[in-house]
Amino acid sequence: MLKRKIDSYLKDWKQREHKPLIIKGARQIGKTTSIRQFGKSYPSFIEINFMENPEYKSVFQHGYDPNRIIKELSLLNPEFEFIPYQTLILLDEIQEYPDATTSLKFFKEDGKYDVICSGSMLGNHYKKVSSISVGYKEDVQMYSMDFEEFLWANGYNEENIEFIYSFLKELKPLPDSIFEKLSDLFQDYIFCGGMPEIVDTFIKEKTFSNIFSKQSQLHSDYENDITKYVEGLDYAKVLNVYRHITSQLSKENHKFQISKLGHGARSREYTGCQEW
């Protein structure tokens, strides 16, 4: 189990007065895995995945009363155990049915159950929500693994990292041996990237031989998501933007220019595509 920064956020969220939580972030960055691990701190953890089990959508189509929702979910899956004040409910892949987030207001007012929503590209789907629970939810953005998390995965503890930070805070150069070791690790991180599955494979096998094919598959999955979720835009143009990100940002000026996407490409023709 890879340690993530979201772990400490979730622990703090549970201990303080809190509202239902929406965790946003790109696909495959470890949102669901972290929430499942956090769910072990509850006597009961209920996971509802709108992509794998679309039948759950119907429960939220007849209103948002938590008591009725709990009752219908129990009928759909008798194995669900809803224990008041001791249950965490995960509404996963919420982008498949974003209107379910309207229920967060009512779960907050009811107060018997903790609720976390998780999904990719939520910002593109909020426009579909009939009534966003403003004031009754918390939003947090999760990202892929950063270098500090990569160091955790490689066995470095908080004391080790604080020692490294001490040199940075005092503007002192690191000892040569430590600098060389961290340089090697950072190079590994650059090759791996921050996707947890890739990092986990590298940590276990200590070789790059099996990670490049997985990276290629993730890249293909992202492109498939573009064709699936792009609405109101030319998905071919969105794909063109996506495929040019790395090549353009790797140049010396680190700028992304629409004019470089192809012969005669103009900004007005790509309105909205770059933002997507």
The 10s digit of each residue's pLDDT in 109-124 is 999 999 999 988 655 5
Smallest CA-to-CA distance from 93 within 125, 62, 68, 67 is with 125
Vertex 38 angle, CA 33 and 42, to 5°? 135
Burial (Cβ within 10 Å: 0-12, 13-18, ≥19) of residue 32 = middle
Task: Based on DSSP, count helices (H) and strands (E) in the chain, helices before strands.
Answer: 10, 5
- CA–CA distance, 30 with 68 (Å, rounded to integer): 31
Burial (Cβ within 10 Å: 0-12, 13-18, ≥19) of residue 10 = buried
Q: What is the pLDDT of residue 134?
A: 73
Percentage of residues of the chain with pLDDT beyond 90: 67
Least confidently predicted of 3-17, 18-32, 45-59, 211-225: 211-225
Question: pLDDT grade, residue 179 (50/70/90)?
Answer: very high
pLDDT over threshold 70, residue 271: yes
Q: What is the pLDDT of residue 275?
A: 77
Q: What is the pLDDT of residue 199?
A: 96
Q: What is the pLDDT of residue 132?
A: 62
Q: What is the pLDDT of residue 14?
A: 97
- CA–CA distance, 72 with 46 (Å, rounded to integer): 14
- Scan for tokens 């986990």, then name that residue: 200
- Count other C-beta atoms under 10 Å from residue 170's C-beta: 7
- Scan for tokens 């929406």, then name that residue: 22
Q: Where are the alpha helices (DSSP H) in the chain?
A: 5-15, 31-39, 66-76, 103-110, 147-153, 158-169, 176-192, 196-205, 211-229, 235-249
pLDDT over threshold 50, residue 90: yes
Mean pLDDT of 246-251: 87
Question: pLDDT grade, residue 126 (50/70/90)?
Answer: very low
Least confidently predicted of 46-55, 94-103, 129-138, 194-203: 129-138
Mean pLDDT of 149-175: 95
Question: pLDDT grade, residue 135 (50/70/90)?
Answer: confident
Bridge-partner residues for 140, per DSSP?
23
Question: pLDDT grade, residue 231 (50/70/90)?
Answer: confident
Burial (Cβ within 10 Å: 0-12, 13-18, ≥19) of residue 254 = exposed
Dihedral Cα 151, 153, 154, 159, nearest 10 deg: 50
pLDDT over threshold 90, residue 141: yes
The SS3 of residue 262 is coil
Name the more confident of 241 and 227.
241
Name the more confident of 3 and 133.
3
At 137, the amino acid letter reads: K
Q: Are 128 and 8 within 8 A, CB to CB? A: no
Question: pLDDT grade, residue 217 (50/70/90)?
Answer: very high
